A and B are shown apart, each in its own frame.
Chain A
Amino acid sequence: MGSIRRLLPYLRRYRRAYAIGLLSVVVTATLALLAPRVLQYAVDDLGRSITHHKLTFYAALLVGLSLVGGVARFLMRRVVIGASRHIEAEVRDDFFAHLTRLPLAYFRTRRTGDLMARAMGDLESVRLMIGISVIDAANTAVVFVVALALMLSIDAGLTVVALAPLPAVSLAVRWFGKAIHARFQLVQAQLSEVASLTQEGLSSVRLVRAYGQEDAQVERFTEATRRYFARNRSLIRLQAAFYATMTFSLGAGALLVLWLGSARVVRGELTLGEFVALTAYQAMLGVPMVAIGSLTNTIQRGIASWKRMLEVFDEPEAEALPGAGRERRARVPLHWKADAPRGGLVVEIRNLTFSYGPGLPPVLRDVSFRAAPGQTVALVGATGSGKSTLLHLLPRLLEPPPGTVFVDGVDVRGLPLEILRRQIGFVPQEPFLFAETLAGNIAFAPAAGEDEGRGSGEREAPPSVELLSGGFDLRGTGTFHLGPLGTDAVRRAAAIARLEPVVETLPRGYETPLEERGLNLSGGQRQRTALARALVLDPPLLVLDDALSAVDTKTEAEILEGLRAGAAVRTTLVAASRLSSVRDASLILFLDEGRIVERGTHEELVALGGQYAGLYRRQLLRESLEVG
């Protein structure tokens, strides 16, 4: 129940809607229950012979009640389900905002599909619990109480007899519901087995063909599908028994009323009208009995799903990581103000040892170096030597240990994330482009004064009840505005990243929308876009994490030439597997298993004849082969 309490703040904002909705439920249910009563009086009066006038009145009353009831039914759905839709959107907004603030490390261990399932499927279960289930529960309660009272007022004895099978119905729904759910799980498990066999078979289709084992694959698949059929069979048998039980129990109640009731009418203990009304009420009571069973299932599922969402909500956000709090007070250097002229940053790494978690071997061991404004420091080494990890510590995509990573003399752990990250233009190894225009992808970061930072928890007031299901507002979607960064800045950055020849080939130039993940660009073009995205900020610290690996040698040389102009002012950190991009660096660090093993300029290291020199020779050869 503790988990449900966490849902209350959302619900509370819509208490008016829920109040109106519940009132509508009461009206709907009551009116629905009154209709048989009208029929009862009409039939009874007909037995005693009545006027046309009175007959018309009864008919009109029937229609009138149904009209009022219809309006109430409409309101009930619209208001309560409307509220649940609004709450769904609010929870999802919060969920999404929370996701964007979680530390990167969290995402390394999570599958995207799983997080998406929680944001969509699980939330849907929660919504059903706070939407249609609320109506169902209220309706069940009202119908049950009112119908029971009315029946009792007509004929208490007969009512007790008529209701005898109903608890059985409810029990059957619960019992069968559980058993069916259990078998359904088995069926689903087997279905996912079938799916993974399909995946396996279809992704190894070449191998299977080469060995001519198509038939064996089909046989394997057939076997799994046959088991799926068998599990379905047991589920179906259970369902068949369930439906039969329902038909019988509900019918038995009707039979009892009919049989005993008609006998009473004959004996004069009951009027014909009362008899008709009793029959109708008895039929009505069946519905809530069935509903109670499915209601408990919905609620159980909703709570389970809400717990799965809370697991994510309870993950600490990046800013609140342990250890970050004490240093938070760190003085933000004055000259970091956005409007101040920007020079480079002094980056200093002191005795840094880093591992991905307690008990895991360190990825970086006792690394120390310093990079001053105007300098370019290059990290070189084999895959897995720790280059990329080191670069990820600077913008705190990974959290460094205290007292190891400093910019302008301040421990990065003490700096607010958005202020720290505003200083850094980071170009990752695998660029990630978004399904926006090319210009939107370049001018990706918010400019000063624009909606910067990690988002506030504020929310507008809940909409009025009339608006709950109304209007359609699309704030801030779709069109992209270049904003203060402006087209000039985008063009300048694109020019340095040598994107201009690419832009010319695009149908709508900078305004060409990119596909998901920028898949309509080549790998090299994506990398150049990511570079432009960092350059457009004119950052004091530029970090290139093997950022030009997919760019051809000639273009790379042009880009490096273009970068040189700005490099005189800013600080640049580069990790590279291709040495052509680091030749001119002020300092080259050769990393081997997380340790700096060689350090110096290109000429010094080549002269040293160590690992760097060996790597350099091999690359020269490869290049000559590519050209030949």
Chain B
Amino acid sequence: MPNALGPGRGERSDWQLLWRLLSYLRPYPWQAAGGLAAVTANAVLQLAPPYLTKVIVDEHVAAGRLEGLGDIALLYLITLTAAALLEAAQTSILQLTAQRVMFDFRVQVYRHLHRLDIAFFDRNPVGRLMTRVTSDVDVLNDLFTSGVHAIFFDLFTLAGIVFILVSLDWRLALAAFAVVPLMGLITRWFRRNIRESFRDVRAWVARLNASLQENIGGIATVQLFRREAINQRRFRALDAGHRDANLRGMFYYAVFYPAIEIVATISTAAILWYGGVLVMAEDLTLGGLVAFLLYSQRFFRPVADISEKLNGVQAAIAAAERIFGLLDTQAEIRQVGARATGVERGRAGTSIVFEHVSFAYDGSGDVLKDVSFEVRPGERVGIVGATGSGKSTVINLLLRFYDVGRGRILVDGRDIRGMPLPELRSRFALVQQDVQLFSGTIASNLTMGSGAISPESVERAVAAVGAGRFVSALPGGTGAAVAERGATFSTGQKQLLSFARALAFNREVLLLDEATSSVEGETELAILVALRAVMAGRTTIAIAHRLATVQDMDRILVLHKGELREAGTHDELLAHDGIYAKLWALQCHSTANPNPIPGGRPGS
């Protein structure tokens, strides 16, 4: 299964990628056409000033005629104004269209990410995926604004100038073009070396960054073991490597630009000499030569520009390859059938059956081994076990974040693999150990953007879990702003909000994934009260580390190393004197000897 980096180069040719990229212009035919028209018109207008100059020199200066000069000046002014307006049109059409395409790309990539398997997120760190959405898309921007159209522009201009030069005097044109192969060679030399050099510099930057990160992150170790001097020396060596790589790259620049300039001057000299000969032979007017000289100056700029822009196009193609690699990754767990709507189905409850379920995460051993159990509608079941016993996997499978390896899971008698995902998931409310809050308001965090939840039910949910007191103390109540990751709330408050969220969604089945583990001391009581409110009348599966949470459940399942080892009520399991009884004894001592843990201080 491919990861976000996509398959290696060579599978798709650059042209296919470019073509696929350009297909994103399809929704904007008018803008694309308008942009192209503006570019073309602008390119044509670029040729007007030298032409008018030629007219002035030939028909007025050389002929000594003053009348009509004002008209040409006026014409010049008009073309100048038109060129300025076209410039503005070109910029805004191209850039806005590019921004529209970027918008489409971003939304498409983001939407696609929300469809990919959870397993995909296990393999690809969020940081890398963010790069696809942000910087990679930005690189494409360059292609649509300065890349494709600018190259078109340069090509148009070039074609126009070549046409004019040839039509002015084909012999002089040949003299001017004589240097083109030389220029091509220089450009090729430059581009090959500069690409190499860019790669080299990037590698050194990465090394510098790694060294900085390592030394800042490990500063305590560096200082404790008196490595300051040695690490400084090593850093100096890296820094020198980085500097020298840059100096080598700079060398190519330092040679390239003067070289192009010299070649252009050689061409000018050739035109001057050959043109001079022609003028002396009265084969060419002086004005014609001057005009030709002026035009030929404009010939070299687009040539140099194009080579520079091709580098940008290459970067864009590389970014496109990464983005398309992501877009081409397909989810293995798909929605089956039509979309289900409605939150409540008005049935008594949902039954859940695990039949001989085994499961392994990518490439590792079985996390669940032949686990079978049933949860009847309205029943409250606790699942306990040590870290790594496979508790959380039960919930991951039930929500179909992953598909079972062997066996099957039935919800209301139906294999969940045959159910549309929204229909399956709309039965469950999930409360996790790490409460995830979004920037926004308390209300928007409870509804998570779902329009199906009324403000009243939000208020009711907040009150029901006992969060009313602290929420109403906030400016704006449920409309109060929530900072990134809820940084201004205590762990207990965040947990209460996550219960309120579950309650607001009013689902049939409540899934608690270590929902009370990170709460300590006095807030724990508040949480237990809230929990009772949320569980009322709901089928509940509670995964817990802390046995107090599951103590009065209808049934408790004990998982040990992926196997279901014990099942029964709290009293039955204590009597059984097995794993559960040991766990209980352990935790009883903790509560008998409360040891409040104050807010952790770094390093203490």
Interface residues of A in 129-184 (CB under 8 A from B): none
Q: Which of B85, B233, B234, B268 contacts A62 (CB 8 A)?
A: B268
Judging by beta carbons under 8 Å apart, are B277 and A472 in contact? no
Interface residues of A in 70-116 (CB under 8 A from B): 70-71, 73-74, 77-78, 81-82, 85-86, 88-89, 92-93, 96-97, 99-102, 104, 107-108, 112, 115-116
Q: Which of A236, A421, A428, A614 contacts B593 (CB 8 A)?
A: A614
Contact of B180 with A by CB under 8 A: no
CB distance from B33 to the nearest CB of A (A): 18
Contact of B243 with A by CB under 8 A: yes
CB distance from B63 to the nearest CB of A (A): 8
In the complex, residue of chain A having the shortest beta-carbon distance to the beta carbon of B438: A200
Report Cα–Cα, A278/B413, bound state, in Å.
Answer: 91
Neighbouring A residues of B439 by C-beta, 8 Å? 196-197, 200
In the complex, residue of chain B having the shortest beta-carbon distance to the beta carbon of A624: B582
Q: Which of B64, B102, B121, B290 contacts A43 (CB 8 A)?
A: B290
CB distance from B553 to the nearest CB of A (A): 21
CB distance from A151 to the nearest CB of B (A): 18
Contact of A201 with B by CB under 8 A: yes
Judging by beta carbons under 8 Å apart, are B222 and A46 in contact? no
From B7-15, B257-265, B465-473, B527-535, give the one contacting chain A: B257-265
Knowing A93-B232, A99-B216 are in contact, say whether A56-B273 is a contact too (CB < 8 A).
Answer: yes
Interface string of B60-97 (1 = CB under 8 A from A): 11101110011011001100110111011101100110
Neighbouring B residues of A220 by C-beta, 8 Å? 449
CB distance from B357 to the nearest CB of A (A): 19
Judging by beta carbons under 8 Å apart, are A625 and B582 in contact? yes
Judging by beta carbons under 8 Å apart, are B66 and A202 in contact? no
Judging by beta carbons under 8 Å apart, are A209 and B273 in contact? no
From A245-253, A551-559, A563-571, give the one contacting chain B: A245-253
Interface residues of A in 215-253 (CB under 8 A from B): 216-222, 225-226, 228-229, 232-233, 236-237, 239-241, 243-245, 247-248, 251-252
Neighbouring A residues of B69 by C-beta, 8 Å? 259, 262-263, 266
In the complex, residue of chain A having the shortest beta-carbon distance to the beta carbon of B430: A210
From B247-255, B303-311, B455-463, give the one contacting chain A: B247-255
Neighbouring A residues of B590 by C-beta, 8 Å? 618
Judging by beta carbons under 8 Å apart, are B113 and A477 in contact? no
CB distance from A164 to the nearest CB of B (A): 14
CB distance from A404 to the nearest CB of B (A): 17
Neighbouring A residues of B286 by C-beta, 8 Å? 43, 46-47, 272
What total count of A-B pairs have CB within 8 Å?
448
Report Cα–Cα, A519/B224, bound state, in Å.
Answer: 21
Judging by beta carbons under 8 Å apart, are A248 and B222 in contact? no
Q: Which of A115, A384, A424, A429 contacts B224 (CB 8 A)?
A: A424
Contact of B34 with A by CB under 8 A: no
Contact of A401 with B by CB under 8 A: no
Interface residues of B in 109-140 (CB under 8 A from A): 110-111, 113-115, 118, 121, 126, 129-130, 133-134
Interface string of B249-289 (1 = CB under 8 A from A): 01101110111011001101110110011011000001001
Judging by beta carbons under 8 Å apart, are A240 and B585 in contact? no
Judging by beta carbons under 8 Å apart, are A219 and B449 in contact? yes
Neighbouring B residues of A386 by C-beta, 8 Å? 604
Q: Which of B61, B225, B227 contacts A262 (CB 8 A)?
A: B61
Judging by beta carbons under 8 Å apart, are A202 and B237 in contact? no
Q: Which of A65, A445, A475, A621 contacts B226 (CB 8 A)?
A: A445
CB distance from B488 to the nearest CB of A (A): 16
CB distance from A40 to the nearest CB of B (A): 11
Report Cα–Cα, A421/B585, bound state, in Å.
Answer: 45
Neighbouring B residues of A209 by C-beta, 8 Å? 114, 118, 399, 401, 425
In the complex, residue of chain A having the shortest beta-carbon distance to the beta carbon of B251: A469
From B20-28, B204-212, B313-321, B369-377, give the one contacting chain A: B204-212
Judging by beta carbons under 8 Å apart, are A455 and B130 in contact? no
Contact of A258 with B by CB under 8 A: yes
Q: Which of A191, A203, A432 contacts B220 (CB 8 A)?
A: A432
Knowing A212-B422, A432-B218 are in contact, say whether A389-B603 is a contact too (CB < 8 A).
Answer: yes
Contact of B602 with A by CB under 8 A: yes
Contact of B575 with A by CB under 8 A: no
Contact of B597 with A by CB under 8 A: yes
Q: Which of B234, B272, B425 contacts A477 (CB 8 A)?
A: B234
Q: Which of B73, B226, B399 contacts A453 (CB 8 A)?
A: B226
Contact of B347 with A by CB under 8 A: no
Neighbouring A residues of B220 by C-beta, 8 Å? 104, 397, 428, 432
Q: Which of B113, B224, B250, B265 contacts A85 (CB 8 A)?
A: B250
Judging by beta carbons under 8 Å apart, are B114 and A42 in contact? no
Contact of A337 with B by CB under 8 A: no
Knowing A120-B208, A625-B586 are in contact, say whether A240-B91 is a contact too (CB < 8 A).
Answer: yes
In the complex, residue of chain B having the shortest beta-carbon distance to the beta carbon of A109: B602
Neighbouring A residues of B235 by C-beta, 8 Å? 93, 96-97
Neighbouring B residues of A618 by C-beta, 8 Å? 586, 589-590, 593
Judging by beta carbons under 8 Å apart, are A70 and B84 in contact? no
Neighbouring A residues of B226 by C-beta, 8 Å? 417-418, 421-422, 445-446, 452-454
Judging by beta carbons under 8 Å apart, are B84 and A251 in contact? yes
Q: Which of A119, A203, A216 contacts B449 (CB 8 A)?
A: A216
Judging by beta carbons under 8 Å apart, are A239 and B91 in contact? yes
Report Cα–Cα, A384/B595, bound state, in Å.
Answer: 11
Neighbouring A residues of B430 by C-beta, 8 Å? 206-207, 210-211
Neighbouring B residues of A63 by C-beta, 8 Å? 262, 265-266, 269
Neighbouring B residues of A100 by C-beta, 8 Å? 215, 219, 222-223, 228, 231-232
Judging by beta carbons under 8 Å apart, are B272 and A214 in contact? no
Knowing A43-B289, A212-B422 are in contact, say whether A259-B237 is a contact too (CB < 8 A).
Answer: no
CB distance from A165 to the nearest CB of B (A): 11
Contact of B552 with A by CB under 8 A: no
Contact of A444 with B by CB under 8 A: yes
Interface residues of A in 358-381 (CB under 8 A from B): 363
Contact of A622 with B by CB under 8 A: yes
Report Cα–Cα, A353/B333, bound state, in Å.
Answer: 58
Knowing A418-B226, A618-B590 are in contact, say whether A108-B602 is a contact too (CB < 8 A).
Answer: yes
Report Cα–Cα, A46/B284, bound state, in Å.
Answer: 11
Contact of A329 with B by CB under 8 A: no
Report Cα–Cα, A85/B242, bound state, in Å.
Answer: 9
Report Cα–Cα, A195/B62, bound state, in Å.
Answer: 64
Judging by beta carbons under 8 Å apart, are A243 and B88 in contact? yes
Contact of A516 with B by CB under 8 A: yes
CB distance from A457 to the nearest CB of B (A): 10
Judging by beta carbons under 8 Å apart, are B99 and A229 in contact? yes
CB distance from B408 to the nearest CB of A (A): 20
Judging by beta carbons under 8 Å apart, are A248 and B272 in contact? no
Judging by beta carbons under 8 Å apart, are A451 and B121 in contact? no
Judging by beta carbons under 8 Å apart, are B64 and A266 in contact? yes
23 contacts between A and B (CB under 8 A): A43-B286, A43-B290, A65-B265, A73-B254, A73-B258, A77-B254, A81-B254, A97-B235, A104-B219, A115-B212, A207-B432, A211-B425, A217-B114, A233-B96, A251-B80, A387-B604, A421-B225, A453-B228, A469-B248, A472-B244, A474-B240, A477-B234, A625-B586
Q: Kindly list the 3 A-B residue pairs having the minimum CB-CB distance in the complex, ordered from nearest.
A: A216-B449, A66-B265, A70-B258
Q: A73-B261, A195-B134, A452-B226 are in contact. List 14 more A-B contacts (CB 8 A).
A: A52-B277, A70-B262, A74-B254, A89-B242, A217-B448, A221-B107, A240-B87, A247-B84, A262-B57, A444-B227, A454-B228, A468-B247, A477-B234, A618-B589
